[in-house]
A and B are shown apart, each in its own frame.
Chain A
Amino acid sequence: MMTFSLSFNGTEHRRPSRLGRVLEDRLPYLIVAPAILVLLLVGLFPLIYSLIVSFQRITMTDNDTSFAGLLNYAELFRDTRLWASLGHTAIITAIALPLELLIGFLMAQLFIDRMPGRQLFVALLVLPTVISPIVAGATWRLLFDVRFGPIGEILSFFAGEPIRILWTVNPAYVYPAIIICEVWQWSPFMFLLLLAALSNVDQSQLEAAEIDGASYLRVLRAIILPAIAPVIAVACLIRGLDLVRIFDIIWALTEGGPGSMTETISLYTYVQGFSQFETSYTAAISFLVIALLTLITTLVLKRMEIAR
């Protein structure tokens, strides 16, 4: 640490100079300042710029760039398709997230004990997460295909009669199709995190509970879940945010259809920005989403007490 103190005759210590003290106090800030400056430039500038754009009248098909005040934000409240897309996003998140957590946890429980070939099985199970979501969506579209898809064949085999389900057209099946694909791809992610968390649960406590004759559910509630709760919270937060931004899988499977029935907020934002060229309005939608996500994330972090 920089002191600027000098010693005379080995007995007298002079106090650091004023400049020295200031530098000493501010040194950590000075060290991180360039990094913060870069972060502000690359992170904050686009955000501020798009905030400005959201108050303008920019569309790709017009030369008008005048100030629009809160017009775009007022439009958000009248836009029923926007609120419907938020609803669709919420439905997918509310169903897929618990399923992924549950399946991930069950898989982790199965693989917690060491067994021959465990590493290979784990690597195979994790494969779906390394596939690009658009490829996963396209693959499942083929699997669901009414003519070539094996799913129809398998169902027909068990039913004993031809079963032809239009998974991506029939409103009754389109959400299940999306959720099956989503859960297939991302449950292994939960599995990996929870497997790591379960591996770190205090074995002595588990052994003591076993000696005491505690039931599995009791052990789960009293020892395992409290021990892995922070990991579950972080996993849910990461996957939850990902699910709110879900785009690729739905684009490949349904393109938001039939009609706008599976259009999520990301798809709607894309359509507004890049298909309908409503640049300023798209910026306003983005800020609505940022506001909603910030609110939800803060509440979740507070509730789960992991911010500390």
Chain B
Amino acid sequence: MKFRTLLGVAAILALTGVSAPAADKDAADIAVEAAKKYAGTTISIVWEAGLQSLDPLNYSGPKWEKLTGIKVKVVEVPTDQMFTKIMQDFKSGAGAYDALNVIPSWMPDLARAGALEPLDKYVDKFGYRDELQDIAAAYRDNQMQYDGKIFGFPDDGDVMLLYYRKDIFEDPKMKEGFKAKFGYELAPPKDWKQLDDIGQFITDKMAPKVYGAGFFRTAPYPQYMFQERFRMEGGKFFNADTMKSTVNSDVGLKVFKQMLAENKFMPPGVEQWNFVDNLAAFLQGTTAMTISWPPYGRWAAGYGSGEEALKWVPKSQVAGKVGYALTPLGRPELGVGFDLSVSATSKNKEAAYLFIQWLNSKKTSLERVQLPYTLRDPFRLSHYASEKYRALWPDAPAYLDTIKTSGEKGLLDLSLLQQDKYDEAMTKAISSLWAGEDPKTILDRMAQQFDAITEKVGIENQKAVYKVWAAKPGAYPQ
């Protein structure tokens, strides 16, 4: 009996021993194993030119080749030309690209045109569905599917965060003076009125050494701030029944006036600030608050400052002094983001799919979001919880917790057919706002432009797409 028991235990152990690696195999391992049969082939991937491309060029591309024998050719394309290049390749049927980086708001256009390969069959074949659940809901529920099919894997946790100077906010004199003046504690602003109070207060006390806040104001960035604020104040982009634009409502006017008024407590010339201007001002300590994507937080902490590729980033003068918070009203704009997709005209669809599954997998993506030079931001629950990531700098846990909360509450960019045209109308409108044109006139013109675009696209077509978009959890605050 004892011998039989022993045999039984031995058998169980043996079975466990054999089956354990299979059970442990994650999506990255599965992709690598399956991709080995394509060893010797080359796949191309469209990637945002510049820093972003250092990921596949320096890290993931060579690593994938080492693991599978598949070479990765990186096609660097400036962001504003990526859509055109993808469509050109698709329309010509050339199949020059296998895998793609796609901005989620392009998905309706690309999916309807047939330029993207539906990924569901691959997801099931290569057992990726479970790992997709680890992607934060904001990205998974909003940025992955069109018309019920998976067309891309959310791969970048873009979301706007509020950064503030803890040393100024915690200074006893400042706290006391602020409370005496406004009757509430000096703390990260909960709404835009508080941001005005705090911003003006700090400017009055500390300018020109430090101004209350600085935001980027040149195209295309402020439109994301407008989209967020407009919806958080109760605005709707369209009347869902008629598709007539309602951006020129009282809410639109209120937001435009607020945005314009804020410039008064920001540094002179803020109207001309782009991403780098704003970054430089905050890192050099001349603005006490700003709103931007997650890389600001890492760079402010000095993370990656030794990297050659990040030499253009000003040396942080505020490391250890930066706090992270949700943007006022608590529902930040997700702002752009990137999906990994497969081109419908690819001649190596399965190999391309396996590469993006491996890139996007829990294991590989955790390494990629820690690369200091590639601007990929945490987007998985496991990224936020990673002990390794949380140990990267003293405030990293607070940083990751804020990104997680911001992502959970994030608002999705407007995403319609020919979205670029609506974006351009918003961008031009905001540029006119800084130039001092009457806000109501600008908004009326923007609404007219929206209507003209909708009419040209086809009201019924656009209504259907808008309905799908507006039903997403991140479209309008519930």
Residues in chain A within 8 A of chain B (CB atoms): 60-63, 145-147, 164, 166, 168-171, 255, 257-261, 271, 274-277
- Check B272 against A276 for contact (C-beta < 8 Å): no
- Check B272 against A166 for contact (C-beta < 8 Å): yes
Within the complex, the shortest CB–CB distance from A301 to chain B, in Å, comes to 38
Q: Inside 8 A of B109's CB, which chain A residues have their CB?
A: 61
Among B129-137, B335-343, B352-360, B420-428, the stretch that binds chain A is B420-428
- Check A277 against B435 for contact (C-beta < 8 Å): no
User: Quick check: is B17 within 8 A (CB to CB) of the other chain?
Assistant: no
Residue of B nearest to A147 (CB): B269
Given contacts A61-B109, A276-B424, A170 and B435 within 8 Å (CB-CB): yes
Q: Contact string, B70-93, partner A, CB cutoff 8 A, digits 1/0?
A: 000000000011011001100100
**Complex alpha-carbon distance, A146 and B273, angstroms:** 11
User: Quick check: is B418 within 8 A (CB to CB) of the other chain?
Assistant: yes
Given contacts A60-B84, A62-B113, A147 and B268 within 8 Å (CB-CB): yes
- Check A169 against B434 for contact (C-beta < 8 Å): yes
Q: Inside 8 A of B305's CB, which chain A residues have their CB?
A: none
- Check B272 against A257 for contact (C-beta < 8 Å): no
Q: Inside 8 A of A170's CB, which chain B residues have their CB?
A: 435-436
Q: Inside 8 A of A259's CB, which chain B residues have their CB?
A: 428-429, 431-432, 435, 437, 442
- Check B435 against A60 for contact (C-beta < 8 Å): no
Per a CB cutoff under 8 Å, which of B87, B267, B272, B428 touches A169? B272
Q: Inside 8 A of A168's CB, which chain B residues have their CB?
A: 272
**Complex alpha-carbon distance, A238 and B83, angstroms:** 36
Per a CB cutoff under 8 Å, which of A147, A164, A258, A275 touches B435? A258
Given contacts A61-B109, A260-B428, A164 and B269 within 8 Å (CB-CB): yes
**Complex alpha-carbon distance, A243 and B424, angstroms:** 25
Given contacts A145-B269, A146-B272, A277-B84, A61 and B434 within 8 Å (CB-CB): no
- Check A257 against B435 for contact (C-beta < 8 Å): yes
Give 24 pairs: A residue, B residue, CB < 8 Å, sorted on A: A60-B83, A60-B88, A61-B87, A61-B417, A61-B418, A63-B91, A63-B113, A145-B272, A146-B268, A146-B269, A164-B268, A164-B269, A171-B437, A257-B428, A257-B432, A259-B428, A259-B437, A260-B428, A274-B81, A276-B418, A276-B420, A276-B424, A277-B418, A277-B420
A-B contacts besides A60-B91, A164-B269, A271-B424, 9 pairs, CB < 8 Å = A146-B272, A168-B272, A171-B435, A257-B219, A259-B432, A259-B437, A261-B432, A276-B418, A276-B420
**Complex alpha-carbon distance, A169 and B268, angstroms:** 12
**Complex alpha-carbon distance, A171 and B437, angstroms:** 9
Q: Inside 8 A of B428's CB, which chain A residues have their CB?
A: 257, 259-260
Q: Inside 8 A of A171's CB, which chain B residues have their CB?
A: 435-437
**Complex alpha-carbon distance, A208 and B152, angstroms:** 83
**Complex alpha-carbon distance, A27 and B303, angstroms:** 75
Q: Inside 8 A of A61's CB, which chain B residues have their CB?
A: 87, 109, 113, 417-418
Within the complex, the shortest CB–CB distance from A181 to chain B, in Å, comes to 16
**Complex alpha-carbon distance, A145 and B273, angstroms:** 10
User: Quick check: is B271 within 8 A (CB to CB) of the other chain?
Assistant: yes
- Check B271 against A169 for contact (C-beta < 8 Å): yes
Q: Inside 8 A of A169's CB, which chain B residues have their CB?
A: 271-272, 434-435
Residue of B nearest to A79 (CB): B452
Residue of B nearest to A263 (CB): B428
Within the complex, the shortest CB–CB distance from A255 to chain B, in Å, comes to 7
**Complex alpha-carbon distance, A100 and B424, angstroms:** 34
- Check B84 against A274 for contact (C-beta < 8 Å): yes
Q: Which of B46-94 contact A (CB under 8 A)?
A: 80-81, 83-84, 87-88, 91
Residue of B nearest to A174 (CB): B435
- Check B87 against A258 for contact (C-beta < 8 Å): no
- Check B420 against A275 for contact (C-beta < 8 Å): yes
Within the complex, the shortest CB–CB distance from A187 to chain B, in Å, comes to 27
